[in-house]
Amino acid sequence: MAGIYTEVVEIILQSSALPDEIVPISARVKNLYSAAIGIKVIGSLLNAGVSVSWAVDTYNVPAGAIQQFNGGFRMPGADERVRVYSLWYGSDGIWRSDDYKEKTIKVAELVPEFSQFQITDYRKV
């Protein structure tokens, strides 16, 4: 469901990551208003209860345009729901939360490089 002035159109996030890995994330946000407005995004890791300000840039987005915000966060040790909020800047100088979208990222399992040891050649001495 879109907000009044903005819509989080898409969250671009890999499906899994190792614990402590830096995970890149992007959010595409559309300006639904009839004129250009200031837009920024923030994110939260819901299971860890952490607020992540991963997109510190703000953009003056033209009416009807979509702006991409990029950032990253450190993967916790468990599966995580990531929520991205869009905010718009009012004429009174206050940022207002307007829309959000969620996406899940799972903890990847570390796969050993060698899964089996086998002797393929030998000489009897």
**Tens of each residue's pLDDT in the chain, 125 residues:** 789 999 999 999 999 999 999 999 999 999 999 999 999 999 888 887 666 666 667 899 999 999 999 988 889 889 999 999 999 999 999 999 999 999 999 999 877 666 666 666 667 76
The overall longest dimension of the chain from CA atoms, in Å, is 88
Q: Would the pTM of this model clear 0.85, i.e. be above it?
A: no
Residue 48 confidence (pLDDT): 74
C-alpha to C-alpha distance for 87 and 98, rounded to whole angstroms: 5
Whether residue 74 lies inside any domain: the answer is yes
Q: How many domains does the chain have?
A: 1
Whether residue 120 lies inside any domain: the answer is no
Q: What is the CATH number of the domain that holds 33?
A: 2.60.40.10
Residue 47 confidence (pLDDT): 83
Whether residue 1 lies inside any domain: the answer is no
Whether residue 118 lies inside any domain: the answer is no
Residue 14 confidence (pLDDT): 96
Whether residue 112 lies inside any domain: the answer is no
Cα angle 14-17-22, degrees, rounded to a multiple of 5: 90
Residue 58 confidence (pLDDT): 85
Whether residue 113 lies inside any domain: the answer is no
Instruction: Spell out the SS3 assignment of the chain.
Output: CCCCCEEEEEEEECCEECCCCEEEEEEEEEECCCCCEEEEEEEEECCCCEEECCCCCCEEECCCCEEEEEEEEECCCCCEEEEEEEEEECCCCCEEEEEEEEEEEEECCCCCCCCCCCCCCCCCC
Are the C-beta atoms of residues 52 and 42 closer than 8 Å to each other? yes
Are the C-beta atoms of residues 85 and 95 closer than 8 Å to each other? no
Residue 102 confidence (pLDDT): 95
Domain that residue 48 falls in = 6-107
Residue 123 confidence (pLDDT): 72
Residue 125 confidence (pLDDT): 66
Are the C-beta atoms of residues 42 and 55 closer than 8 Å to each other? yes
Residue 81 confidence (pLDDT): 93
Residues whose CB falls within 8 Å of the CB of residue 116, separated by 6 or more in sequence, listed in order: none
